[in-house]
Structure 1
């Protein structure tokens, strides 16, 4: 197991099955975990795992900004960011790709944009900052019935690669070594892979940021290691 003692991890959308798995694994590895969700009652099991819990609407830019201010006021600086806001709506071929379905999927991109901007300074200042997002194999092979979903995931990947470019440029301009990395995990479906995702996120601190930044890591059912950062 990776040793994350001294690292602070922010998991956004932590009340999902993947969020609960990540909270457990990261806390067990020694990380201080800040777990967010919209529902205080659903956050209680994460508090029992040792996480600091915060209610948050990640699609509300002001709410995200208030969380960032609150954490900094408490002396908490984030070393790792894992946005897990997502969901699936699709089917019906291209004609079935309704505007309502697209709008229901779009919050995952909105949340990523808000939290990555709000904590960009923290991740750049960290001795080893990491942003990890979960995408889909649908980006590489989109289907008509999942066009809305693939489009949102593709936009999220583009945003993450832009974050990676920002990390590299900042280090280059400062004449300093790269310390932060933004990584994309692609899955066909998360069901059954929550523990592998959590373990793979924890192992991001075992790899050099130059080897990680801007990369895509595929997690598959037949990969017992859970992805190789």
Structure 2
């Protein structure tokens, strides 16, 4: 097996949590083509089958559950990157149309960011180049009344991820070691699965000190 370097995804182990989407499949295929080990999670073996066919290791686990994610972390051993991919959109109708039901339906995306970052915190800090990345939206920078629920959940997810980034930096500073782990945000207006896949494959193209706490626009 090739030696790990900070500039390649080759031989890295990545967890794609809640990966049963077009973005999850595109990312898994791109990473596998780059010689990475991909662990894809979902709640349905049937929906995970296409990922298994692409070469991913599949695990039945709820990405929004810290208990499930912690159990997964203990089973799979060393991990170099975690990307929660739970998403979805509901909105419209102006501010009056921002129902509690829609808000509740969007919250799993935030729950997945919280659960995965907490469960894999030790593993990502232990990696020689750990990466935590989330998918957000350009609506955070310019929220609209008809998408207030969605923008609020994405903004909260970004805030949590930036706190993860600060935690990585603080731990490195206090230990007197170089920063090895980085947390980043990918923002998209309309998510292009292939564009996201390319950016995740390139997560090791920059040193953690340059990458940590950055927001990237996927267009």
The question of a shared fold, defined as TM-score above 0.5 by the shorter chain, is answered with yes
TM-score (norm 2): 0.95
2:90 paired with 1:81: no
| Counterpart residue number, 1:217 | 216
Verify the 8 A CA contact 2:9 2:202 in the aligned structure 1: no
Q: Equivalents in 1 of 2:193, 2:84: separation in Å?
A: 14
Verify the 8 A CA contact 1:78 1:126 in the aligned structure 2: yes
2:67 paired with 1:62: yes
Following superposition, the deviation at residue 39 of structure 1 comes to 1.0
Following superposition, the deviation at residue 60 of structure 1 comes to 2.3
Q: Equivalents in 1 of 2:184, 2:66: separation in Å?
A: 23
2:40 paired with 1:39: no
1:76-225 correspondence runs (5 A): 76-190=77-191, 193-220=192-219
Verify the 8 A CA contact 2:134 2:185 in the aligned structure 1: yes
Structure 2 spans left out of the alignment, 5+ residues: 1-6
Structure with more contact order per residue of length (Cα contacts < 8 Å, sep ≥ 6) = 2
Q: Which moved further from structure 2: 179-188 or 62-71?
A: 62-71
| Counterpart residue number, 1:29 | 34
Structure 1 spans left out of the alignment, 5+ residues: 221-229
**Which whole-Å deviations, capped at 9, do the CAs of 1:155-181 have from their partners, x for residues lacking one?**
000000000000000000011111110
Verify the 8 A CA contact 2:161 2:185 in the aligned structure 1: yes
Following superposition, the deviation at residue 210 of structure 1 comes to 1.1
Following superposition, the deviation at residue 38 of structure 1 comes to 1.2
Q: Equivalents in 2 of 1:103, 1:95: separation in Å?
A: 16
The CA RMSD measured in Å over matched residues stands at 1.0
Following superposition, the deviation at residue 145 of structure 1 comes to 0.4
Q: Equivalents in 1 of 2:185, 2:65: separation in Å?
A: 23
Query: What count of residue pairs does the alignment treat as equivalent?
Result: 213
Following superposition, the deviation at residue 67 of structure 1 comes to 1.4
TM-score (norm 1): 0.91
Q: Which runs of 4+ in 1 moved over 4 A?
A: none
Following superposition, the deviation at residue 6 of structure 1 comes to 2.2
